[in-house]
Structure 1
Amino acid sequence: MSRSIRLDAVLIQAVIAGALSFAHLHDLAEAAGQTGWKAWAYPVSVDLLLVAAWRRLRTARRDGSAWTWFVIALVASLGANVATAGLLDLDHVPAWLRILVAGWPALAFLGGTLLVHTPTEPAAHPQPVDEVAAPEVEMERTNTSAPTPPADVPELDPAPAQPAPGAPTVPAALLDHARKLADTHRATTGAPMPAEVLSARLGLPAPMTDAIAAHLQLT
Protein backbone atom coordinates (compact mmCIF):
# COMPACT_ATOMS: atom_id res chain seq x y z
CA MET A 1 0.00 0.00 0.00
CA SER A 2 2.78 2.45 0.96
CA ARG A 3 4.62 1.72 -2.30
CA SER A 4 1.51 2.57 -4.31
CA ILE A 5 1.09 5.88 -2.45
CA ARG A 6 4.74 6.83 -3.07
CA LEU A 7 4.43 6.00 -6.75
CA ASP A 8 1.30 8.13 -7.12
CA ALA A 9 2.96 11.03 -5.31
CA VAL A 10 5.93 10.91 -7.67
CA LEU A 11 3.67 10.90 -10.72
CA ILE A 12 1.64 13.83 -9.42
CA GLN A 13 4.82 15.79 -8.68
CA ALA A 14 6.15 15.04 -12.17
CA VAL A 15 2.90 16.19 -13.80
CA ILE A 16 2.86 19.43 -11.80
CA ALA A 17 6.53 20.21 -12.52
CA GLY A 18 6.08 19.42 -16.21
CA ALA A 19 2.98 21.58 -16.51
CA LEU A 20 4.66 24.56 -14.81
CA SER A 21 7.79 24.25 -16.95
CA PHE A 22 5.63 23.87 -20.05
CA ALA A 23 3.68 27.04 -19.18
CA HIS A 24 6.84 29.04 -18.46
CA LEU A 25 8.34 28.10 -21.82
CA HIS A 26 5.10 29.03 -23.55
CA ASP A 27 4.95 32.42 -21.80
CA LEU A 28 8.56 33.21 -22.66
CA ALA A 29 8.11 32.24 -26.31
CA GLU A 30 4.94 34.31 -26.53
CA ALA A 31 6.65 37.31 -24.93
CA ALA A 32 9.48 36.96 -27.48
CA GLY A 33 7.01 37.38 -30.36
CA GLN A 34 5.95 33.78 -31.02
CA THR A 35 2.15 33.74 -30.98
CA GLY A 36 -0.57 31.15 -31.49
CA TRP A 37 0.41 27.54 -31.97
CA LYS A 38 4.08 28.51 -32.32
CA ALA A 39 4.27 29.55 -28.68
CA TRP A 40 2.92 26.12 -27.65
CA ALA A 41 5.40 24.31 -29.91
CA TYR A 42 8.43 25.71 -28.09
CA PRO A 43 7.93 23.85 -24.77
CA VAL A 44 7.26 20.64 -26.72
CA SER A 45 10.53 21.12 -28.64
CA VAL A 46 12.55 21.77 -25.48
CA ASP A 47 11.11 18.79 -23.61
CA LEU A 48 11.56 16.44 -26.56
CA LEU A 49 15.22 17.43 -26.91
CA LEU A 50 15.71 16.90 -23.19
CA VAL A 51 14.12 13.43 -23.34
CA ALA A 52 16.11 12.46 -26.49
CA ALA A 53 19.40 13.48 -24.87
CA TRP A 54 18.53 11.56 -21.69
CA ARG A 55 17.67 8.42 -23.65
CA ARG A 56 20.97 8.73 -25.47
CA LEU A 57 22.85 9.04 -22.19
CA ARG A 58 21.23 5.85 -20.91
CA THR A 59 22.85 3.85 -23.74
CA ALA A 60 26.09 5.84 -24.07
CA ARG A 61 27.22 7.36 -20.79
CA ARG A 62 30.47 8.68 -22.28
CA ASP A 63 28.88 10.36 -25.29
CA GLY A 64 30.00 13.97 -25.03
CA SER A 65 27.51 15.22 -27.62
CA ALA A 66 24.59 13.73 -25.68
CA TRP A 67 25.72 15.55 -22.54
CA THR A 68 26.02 18.79 -24.54
CA TRP A 69 22.47 18.63 -25.88
CA PHE A 70 21.13 17.56 -22.50
CA VAL A 71 22.70 20.63 -20.88
CA ILE A 72 21.39 22.91 -23.66
CA ALA A 73 17.83 21.66 -23.25
CA LEU A 74 18.08 21.83 -19.45
CA VAL A 75 19.39 25.42 -19.57
CA ALA A 76 16.54 26.40 -21.93
CA SER A 77 13.97 24.91 -19.56
CA LEU A 78 15.51 26.35 -16.40
CA GLY A 79 16.13 29.69 -18.10
CA ALA A 80 12.46 30.02 -19.02
CA ASN A 81 11.41 29.16 -15.45
CA VAL A 82 13.74 31.76 -13.98
CA ALA A 83 12.97 34.41 -16.59
CA THR A 84 9.23 34.22 -15.98
CA ALA A 85 9.63 34.45 -12.20
CA GLY A 86 9.59 38.26 -12.29
CA LEU A 87 13.25 38.79 -13.14
CA LEU A 88 12.41 39.66 -16.74
CA ASP A 89 9.95 42.22 -18.03
CA LEU A 90 7.89 40.11 -20.42
CA ASP A 91 6.46 43.28 -21.97
CA HIS A 92 9.93 44.43 -23.01
CA VAL A 93 11.93 41.35 -23.96
CA PRO A 94 15.55 42.20 -24.98
CA ALA A 95 16.62 41.68 -28.56
CA TRP A 96 19.16 38.95 -27.74
CA LEU A 97 16.45 36.85 -26.10
CA ARG A 98 14.19 37.28 -29.13
CA ILE A 99 17.09 36.07 -31.29
CA LEU A 100 17.61 33.00 -29.10
CA VAL A 101 13.91 32.12 -29.15
CA ALA A 102 13.72 32.58 -32.91
CA GLY A 103 16.81 30.41 -33.50
CA TRP A 104 15.75 27.65 -31.12
CA PRO A 105 13.81 25.52 -33.68
CA ALA A 106 16.87 25.14 -35.91
CA LEU A 107 19.08 24.36 -32.91
CA ALA A 108 16.62 21.80 -31.54
CA PHE A 109 16.26 20.15 -34.95
CA LEU A 110 20.05 19.86 -35.28
CA GLY A 111 20.41 18.38 -31.81
CA GLY A 112 17.60 15.88 -32.27
CA THR A 113 18.98 14.77 -35.64
CA LEU A 114 22.48 14.24 -34.27
CA LEU A 115 21.18 12.33 -31.24
CA VAL A 116 19.05 10.00 -33.32
CA HIS A 117 21.37 9.31 -36.26
CA THR A 118 24.75 9.17 -34.53
CA PRO A 119 25.67 5.47 -34.18
CA THR A 120 26.27 4.17 -30.70
CA GLU A 121 29.60 2.45 -30.21
CA PRO A 122 29.06 -0.88 -28.43
CA ALA A 123 30.93 -1.28 -25.18
CA ALA A 124 33.86 -3.65 -25.36
CA HIS A 125 33.15 -6.69 -23.26
CA PRO A 126 35.85 -9.18 -22.38
CA GLN A 127 35.33 -12.45 -24.15
CA PRO A 128 34.26 -15.19 -21.76
CA VAL A 129 36.88 -17.77 -20.98
CA ASP A 130 34.53 -20.55 -22.04
CA GLU A 131 34.20 -19.10 -25.54
CA VAL A 132 37.97 -18.76 -25.91
CA ALA A 133 38.58 -22.31 -24.84
CA ALA A 134 35.70 -23.68 -26.91
CA PRO A 135 37.77 -24.50 -30.05
CA GLU A 136 40.37 -26.29 -27.96
CA VAL A 137 37.72 -28.24 -26.07
CA GLU A 138 36.00 -29.11 -29.33
CA MET A 139 39.32 -30.29 -30.77
CA GLU A 140 39.96 -32.41 -27.70
CA ARG A 141 36.50 -33.93 -28.01
CA THR A 142 37.09 -34.64 -31.67
CA ASN A 143 40.43 -36.27 -30.93
CA THR A 144 38.89 -38.29 -28.12
CA SER A 145 35.99 -39.52 -30.23
CA ALA A 146 38.26 -40.48 -33.13
CA PRO A 147 39.77 -43.95 -32.93
CA THR A 148 43.28 -43.83 -31.55
CA PRO A 149 45.73 -45.37 -33.97
CA PRO A 150 47.75 -48.20 -32.45
CA ALA A 151 51.27 -47.45 -31.41
CA ASP A 152 54.02 -48.42 -33.79
CA VAL A 153 54.87 -52.04 -33.09
CA PRO A 154 58.17 -53.34 -34.42
CA GLU A 155 57.66 -55.87 -37.14
CA LEU A 156 58.73 -59.33 -36.12
CA ASP A 157 60.05 -61.89 -38.46
CA PRO A 158 57.49 -64.60 -39.07
CA ALA A 159 58.17 -67.81 -37.27
CA PRO A 160 59.84 -70.31 -39.49
CA ALA A 161 57.50 -72.87 -40.92
CA GLN A 162 57.73 -76.22 -39.26
CA PRO A 163 58.68 -79.06 -41.59
CA ALA A 164 56.05 -81.59 -42.41
CA PRO A 165 55.93 -84.70 -40.27
CA GLY A 166 58.33 -87.35 -41.54
CA ALA A 167 60.64 -84.79 -43.18
CA PRO A 168 64.38 -85.35 -42.69
CA THR A 169 66.13 -83.39 -39.96
CA VAL A 170 68.28 -80.56 -41.32
CA PRO A 171 71.58 -79.95 -39.54
CA ALA A 172 72.00 -76.46 -38.18
CA ALA A 173 75.23 -75.84 -40.10
CA LEU A 174 73.56 -76.84 -43.39
CA LEU A 175 70.55 -74.65 -42.62
CA ASP A 176 72.84 -71.68 -41.93
CA HIS A 177 74.68 -72.25 -45.19
CA ALA A 178 71.43 -72.42 -47.10
CA ARG A 179 70.16 -69.23 -45.43
CA LYS A 180 73.33 -67.39 -46.48
CA LEU A 181 72.83 -68.51 -50.07
CA ALA A 182 69.22 -67.38 -49.97
CA ASP A 183 70.16 -63.99 -48.47
CA THR A 184 72.85 -63.45 -51.07
CA HIS A 185 70.40 -64.26 -53.85
CA ARG A 186 67.81 -61.82 -52.45
CA ALA A 187 70.41 -59.05 -52.09
CA THR A 188 71.62 -59.59 -55.65
CA THR A 189 68.35 -60.07 -57.50
CA GLY A 190 65.85 -58.43 -55.13
CA ALA A 191 63.65 -61.54 -55.21
CA PRO A 192 63.40 -64.63 -52.98
CA MET A 193 65.52 -67.59 -54.02
CA PRO A 194 63.43 -70.28 -55.71
CA ALA A 195 63.55 -73.75 -54.20
CA GLU A 196 64.79 -75.16 -57.53
CA VAL A 197 67.80 -72.82 -57.52
CA LEU A 198 68.59 -73.71 -53.91
CA SER A 199 68.40 -77.41 -54.76
CA ALA A 200 70.79 -76.92 -57.69
CA ARG A 201 73.23 -74.93 -55.54
CA LEU A 202 73.26 -77.41 -52.69
CA GLY A 203 73.12 -80.63 -54.78
CA LEU A 204 71.12 -82.44 -52.12
CA PRO A 205 68.32 -84.97 -52.45
CA ALA A 206 64.82 -83.62 -52.99
CA PRO A 207 63.52 -84.50 -49.49
CA MET A 208 66.38 -82.66 -47.81
CA THR A 209 66.04 -79.65 -50.13
CA ASP A 210 62.30 -79.49 -49.45
CA ALA A 211 62.97 -79.57 -45.73
CA ILE A 212 65.47 -76.69 -46.04
CA ALA A 213 63.06 -74.72 -48.25
CA ALA A 214 60.32 -75.22 -45.66
CA HIS A 215 62.57 -73.82 -42.95
CA LEU A 216 63.54 -70.82 -45.11
CA GLN A 217 59.96 -70.39 -46.46
CA LEU A 218 61.09 -70.61 -50.04
CA THR A 219 58.75 -71.44 -52.90
Structure 2
Amino acid sequence: MSNRRAITALAAGAAAVTIALTAAAFWLSYEHLHDIAGGNGLSGTRAWAWPATVDLFIVTGELLTLRASLRARIDWWAIALAALGSIGSIALNISGVGAGASVLAYVVAAVPPTAALVAFGALMRQVHEVLDRISDAPAAAPHPQPDTAPQQPAPAAPAPAAPAYPHGALELHLAPMLPASPEVTADAHPSAPAPVAPPAPAADRTDDELIEAARALATTGPLSLRRMQRELGIGQARAQRIRDAVDSTPAPASEEAAS
Protein backbone atom coordinates (compact mmCIF):
# COMPACT_ATOMS: atom_id res chain seq x y z
CA MET A 1 0.00 0.00 0.00
CA SER A 2 2.86 2.42 0.86
CA ASN A 3 4.53 1.73 -2.49
CA ARG A 4 1.31 2.52 -4.35
CA ARG A 5 0.91 5.76 -2.41
CA ALA A 6 4.47 6.76 -3.27
CA ILE A 7 3.87 6.10 -6.97
CA THR A 8 0.64 8.12 -6.88
CA ALA A 9 2.38 11.00 -5.09
CA LEU A 10 5.24 11.04 -7.61
CA ALA A 11 2.79 11.02 -10.53
CA ALA A 12 0.81 13.91 -9.01
CA GLY A 13 4.02 15.87 -8.38
CA ALA A 14 5.24 15.31 -11.94
CA ALA A 15 1.88 16.45 -13.31
CA ALA A 16 1.92 19.60 -11.15
CA VAL A 17 5.48 20.48 -12.20
CA THR A 18 4.63 19.87 -15.86
CA ILE A 19 1.58 22.14 -15.67
CA ALA A 20 3.59 24.88 -13.93
CA LEU A 21 6.35 24.60 -16.56
CA THR A 22 3.80 24.83 -19.36
CA ALA A 23 2.20 27.93 -17.83
CA ALA A 24 5.55 29.71 -17.26
CA ALA A 25 6.84 28.93 -20.76
CA PHE A 26 3.54 30.03 -22.32
CA TRP A 27 3.63 33.34 -20.40
CA LEU A 28 7.23 34.11 -21.43
CA SER A 29 6.47 33.33 -25.07
CA TYR A 30 3.34 35.49 -25.00
CA GLU A 31 5.24 38.44 -23.48
CA HIS A 32 7.95 38.21 -26.14
CA LEU A 33 5.39 38.11 -28.95
CA HIS A 34 3.72 41.16 -27.39
CA ASP A 35 7.02 43.03 -27.49
CA ILE A 36 7.47 42.03 -31.14
CA ALA A 37 3.98 43.32 -31.97
CA GLY A 38 4.68 46.59 -30.12
CA GLY A 39 7.88 47.12 -32.07
CA ASN A 40 6.20 46.53 -35.42
CA GLY A 41 3.34 49.01 -35.55
CA LEU A 42 0.84 47.64 -32.99
CA SER A 43 0.08 49.23 -29.63
CA GLY A 44 -2.31 48.95 -26.72
CA THR A 45 -4.97 46.26 -26.98
CA ARG A 46 -3.88 45.22 -30.47
CA ALA A 47 -0.36 44.48 -29.28
CA TRP A 48 -1.77 42.23 -26.56
CA ALA A 49 -4.27 40.53 -28.87
CA TRP A 50 -1.82 39.78 -31.68
CA PRO A 51 0.09 36.95 -29.86
CA ALA A 52 -3.24 35.19 -29.33
CA THR A 53 -3.52 34.63 -33.08
CA VAL A 54 -0.53 32.29 -32.73
CA ASP A 55 -0.73 30.88 -29.21
CA LEU A 56 -4.46 30.10 -29.32
CA PHE A 57 -3.71 27.51 -32.01
CA ILE A 58 -1.51 25.77 -29.43
CA VAL A 59 -4.20 25.95 -26.73
CA THR A 60 -6.91 24.65 -29.08
CA GLY A 61 -4.75 21.79 -30.32
CA GLU A 62 -3.75 20.81 -26.77
CA LEU A 63 -7.36 20.80 -25.54
CA LEU A 64 -8.53 18.71 -28.50
CA THR A 65 -5.62 16.32 -28.00
CA LEU A 66 -6.52 15.96 -24.31
CA ARG A 67 -10.15 15.25 -25.24
CA ALA A 68 -9.03 12.56 -27.69
CA SER A 69 -6.80 11.03 -25.02
CA LEU A 70 -9.70 10.82 -22.57
CA ARG A 71 -11.67 8.99 -25.28
CA ALA A 72 -8.71 6.68 -26.01
CA ARG A 73 -8.40 8.09 -29.54
CA ILE A 74 -5.73 9.79 -31.66
CA ASP A 75 -6.82 13.13 -33.18
CA TRP A 76 -4.26 13.96 -35.87
CA TRP A 77 -5.99 17.25 -36.66
CA ALA A 78 -5.54 18.38 -33.05
CA ILE A 79 -1.88 17.32 -33.10
CA ALA A 80 -1.37 19.30 -36.33
CA LEU A 81 -2.91 22.41 -34.77
CA ALA A 82 -0.66 22.22 -31.70
CA ALA A 83 2.43 21.56 -33.81
CA LEU A 84 1.64 24.40 -36.24
CA GLY A 85 1.09 26.89 -33.42
CA SER A 86 4.25 25.77 -31.60
CA ILE A 87 6.44 25.97 -34.71
CA GLY A 88 5.02 29.42 -35.54
CA SER A 89 5.62 30.63 -31.99
CA ILE A 90 9.22 29.37 -32.00
CA ALA A 91 9.92 30.96 -35.38
CA LEU A 92 8.42 34.33 -34.37
CA ASN A 93 10.25 34.39 -31.04
CA ILE A 94 13.57 33.75 -32.79
CA SER A 95 12.96 36.25 -35.60
CA GLY A 96 11.97 38.91 -33.07
CA VAL A 97 15.53 39.00 -31.75
CA GLY A 98 16.68 40.60 -34.98
CA ALA A 99 19.70 40.14 -37.20
CA GLY A 100 23.25 40.25 -35.87
CA ALA A 101 22.39 39.13 -32.32
CA SER A 102 24.42 36.59 -30.39
CA VAL A 103 23.63 32.89 -30.50
CA LEU A 104 22.64 32.98 -26.82
CA ALA A 105 19.98 35.62 -27.58
CA TYR A 106 18.36 33.31 -30.15
CA VAL A 107 18.50 30.40 -27.68
CA VAL A 108 16.84 32.49 -24.95
CA ALA A 109 14.05 33.43 -27.34
CA ALA A 110 13.49 29.84 -28.50
CA VAL A 111 13.50 28.17 -25.07
CA PRO A 112 10.00 29.23 -23.78
CA PRO A 113 7.86 27.99 -26.73
CA THR A 114 10.00 24.85 -27.09
CA ALA A 115 9.69 24.10 -23.37
CA ALA A 116 5.91 24.57 -23.55
CA LEU A 117 5.67 22.04 -26.40
CA VAL A 118 7.87 19.45 -24.66
CA ALA A 119 6.06 19.88 -21.34
CA PHE A 120 2.71 19.30 -22.99
CA GLY A 121 4.04 16.12 -24.60
CA ALA A 122 5.18 14.88 -21.16
CA LEU A 123 1.74 15.64 -19.71
CA MET A 124 -0.02 13.72 -22.51
CA ARG A 125 2.23 10.73 -21.86
CA GLN A 126 1.14 10.64 -18.22
CA VAL A 127 -2.52 10.88 -19.24
CA HIS A 128 -2.13 7.97 -21.68
CA GLU A 129 -0.50 5.79 -19.01
CA VAL A 130 -3.34 6.44 -16.56
CA LEU A 131 -6.00 5.68 -19.19
CA ASP A 132 -4.28 2.44 -20.25
CA ARG A 133 -4.06 1.34 -16.61
CA ILE A 134 -7.78 2.02 -16.11
CA SER A 135 -8.84 0.24 -19.33
CA ASP A 136 -6.70 -2.83 -18.55
CA ALA A 137 -8.06 -3.23 -15.00
CA PRO A 138 -10.57 -6.14 -14.80
CA ALA A 139 -14.14 -5.23 -13.96
CA ALA A 140 -15.19 -6.10 -10.43
CA ALA A 141 -17.54 -9.06 -10.31
CA PRO A 142 -20.89 -8.38 -8.56
CA HIS A 143 -21.25 -9.93 -5.13
CA PRO A 144 -23.96 -12.60 -5.07
CA GLN A 145 -26.88 -11.77 -2.85
CA PRO A 146 -27.63 -14.37 -0.15
CA ASP A 147 -30.85 -16.26 -0.60
CA THR A 148 -32.98 -15.45 2.43
CA ALA A 149 -36.02 -17.50 1.36
CA PRO A 150 -36.67 -20.50 3.64
CA GLN A 151 -35.57 -23.78 2.18
CA GLN A 152 -38.41 -26.26 1.70
CA PRO A 153 -37.54 -29.93 2.21
CA ALA A 154 -37.58 -31.90 -1.01
CA PRO A 155 -40.46 -34.41 -1.23
CA ALA A 156 -39.45 -38.03 -0.76
CA ALA A 157 -39.47 -40.08 -3.94
CA PRO A 158 -42.08 -42.89 -3.91
CA ALA A 159 -40.70 -46.39 -3.64
CA PRO A 160 -40.91 -48.33 -6.94
CA ALA A 161 -43.63 -50.96 -6.98
CA ALA A 162 -42.57 -54.57 -7.36
CA PRO A 163 -43.34 -55.94 -10.87
CA ALA A 164 -46.06 -58.57 -11.02
CA TYR A 165 -45.55 -61.53 -13.32
CA PRO A 166 -48.74 -63.61 -13.76
CA HIS A 167 -46.90 -66.71 -14.97
CA GLY A 168 -44.26 -67.00 -12.26
CA ALA A 169 -40.66 -65.96 -12.42
CA LEU A 170 -39.37 -64.19 -15.51
CA GLU A 171 -36.91 -66.20 -17.58
CA LEU A 172 -34.48 -64.48 -19.96
CA HIS A 173 -33.11 -66.27 -22.99
CA LEU A 174 -30.11 -64.26 -24.26
CA ALA A 175 -28.37 -65.06 -27.49
CA PRO A 176 -24.56 -65.11 -27.47
CA MET A 177 -23.01 -61.71 -28.19
CA LEU A 178 -21.42 -61.32 -31.59
CA PRO A 179 -17.95 -59.79 -31.86
CA ALA A 180 -17.98 -56.10 -32.51
CA SER A 181 -17.52 -55.11 -36.14
CA PRO A 182 -14.57 -52.94 -37.14
CA GLU A 183 -16.93 -50.17 -38.23
CA VAL A 184 -18.60 -50.01 -34.82
CA THR A 185 -15.36 -50.06 -32.87
CA ALA A 186 -13.88 -47.38 -35.11
CA ASP A 187 -16.87 -45.13 -34.45
CA ALA A 188 -16.91 -45.88 -30.73
CA HIS A 189 -13.19 -45.00 -30.31
CA PRO A 190 -12.40 -42.11 -32.63
CA SER A 191 -8.81 -41.29 -33.29
CA ALA A 192 -7.20 -38.31 -31.59
CA PRO A 193 -7.91 -34.99 -33.34
CA ALA A 194 -5.20 -33.64 -35.59
CA PRO A 195 -3.15 -30.85 -34.01
CA VAL A 196 -4.38 -27.38 -34.87
CA ALA A 197 -1.90 -25.23 -36.73
CA PRO A 198 -0.86 -22.10 -34.81
CA PRO A 199 -2.39 -18.82 -36.02
CA ALA A 200 -0.54 -16.91 -38.67
CA PRO A 201 1.76 -14.05 -37.56
CA ALA A 202 0.17 -10.62 -37.31
CA ALA A 203 2.18 -9.39 -40.31
CA ASP A 204 0.59 -12.10 -42.51
CA ARG A 205 -2.96 -11.55 -41.28
CA THR A 206 -5.32 -9.23 -43.10
CA ASP A 207 -7.25 -6.43 -41.46
CA ASP A 208 -10.47 -8.43 -41.76
CA GLU A 209 -8.93 -11.30 -39.79
CA LEU A 210 -7.64 -8.92 -37.12
CA ILE A 211 -11.06 -7.24 -36.89
CA GLU A 212 -12.68 -10.63 -36.19
CA ALA A 213 -10.01 -11.39 -33.58
CA ALA A 214 -10.56 -7.97 -31.96
CA ARG A 215 -14.31 -8.64 -31.76
CA ALA A 216 -13.57 -11.91 -30.00
CA LEU A 217 -11.31 -10.06 -27.52
CA ALA A 218 -14.04 -7.48 -26.87
CA THR A 219 -16.33 -10.24 -25.57
CA THR A 220 -13.85 -11.10 -22.78
CA GLY A 221 -12.91 -7.63 -21.51
CA PRO A 222 -12.16 -3.98 -22.40
CA LEU A 223 -10.66 -3.54 -25.88
CA SER A 224 -7.73 -1.22 -25.11
CA LEU A 225 -4.89 -0.40 -27.47
CA ARG A 226 -2.28 -1.97 -25.17
CA ARG A 227 -4.27 -5.21 -24.92
CA MET A 228 -4.70 -5.42 -28.71
CA GLN A 229 -0.96 -4.86 -29.23
CA ARG A 230 -0.10 -7.54 -26.68
CA GLU A 231 -2.60 -10.25 -27.67
CA LEU A 232 -2.76 -9.65 -31.43
CA GLY A 233 0.95 -8.85 -31.88
CA ILE A 234 0.45 -5.60 -33.81
CA GLY A 235 1.72 -2.05 -33.50
CA GLN A 236 -0.09 0.95 -32.01
CA ALA A 237 -1.09 2.52 -35.34
CA ARG A 238 -2.55 -0.73 -36.67
CA ALA A 239 -4.28 -1.43 -33.35
CA GLN A 240 -5.91 2.00 -33.51
CA ARG A 241 -7.07 1.34 -37.11
CA ILE A 242 -8.48 -2.09 -36.20
CA ARG A 243 -10.36 -0.76 -33.17
CA ASP A 244 -11.82 2.11 -35.22
CA ALA A 245 -13.04 -0.46 -37.74
CA VAL A 246 -14.58 -2.57 -34.97
CA ASP A 247 -16.38 0.48 -33.54
CA SER A 248 -17.61 1.74 -36.92
CA THR A 249 -18.76 -1.52 -38.51
CA PRO A 250 -21.60 -3.65 -37.10
CA ALA A 251 -20.92 -7.22 -35.98
CA PRO A 252 -22.04 -10.05 -38.34
CA ALA A 253 -25.56 -11.40 -37.89
CA SER A 254 -24.27 -14.68 -36.46
CA GLU A 255 -22.39 -12.89 -33.67
CA GLU A 256 -25.40 -10.69 -32.85
CA ALA A 257 -27.64 -13.76 -32.63
CA ALA A 258 -25.11 -15.51 -30.41
CA SER A 259 -24.92 -12.51 -28.06
Global fold match (TM > 0.5): no
| TM interval, short-chain normalised | 0.3 to 0.5
Tell me the TM-score normalized by structure 2.
Answer: 0.32
Q: What TM-score does the superposition give when structure 1 sets the normalisation length?
A: 0.36
The structure whose Rg is larger is 1
More helix by share: 1
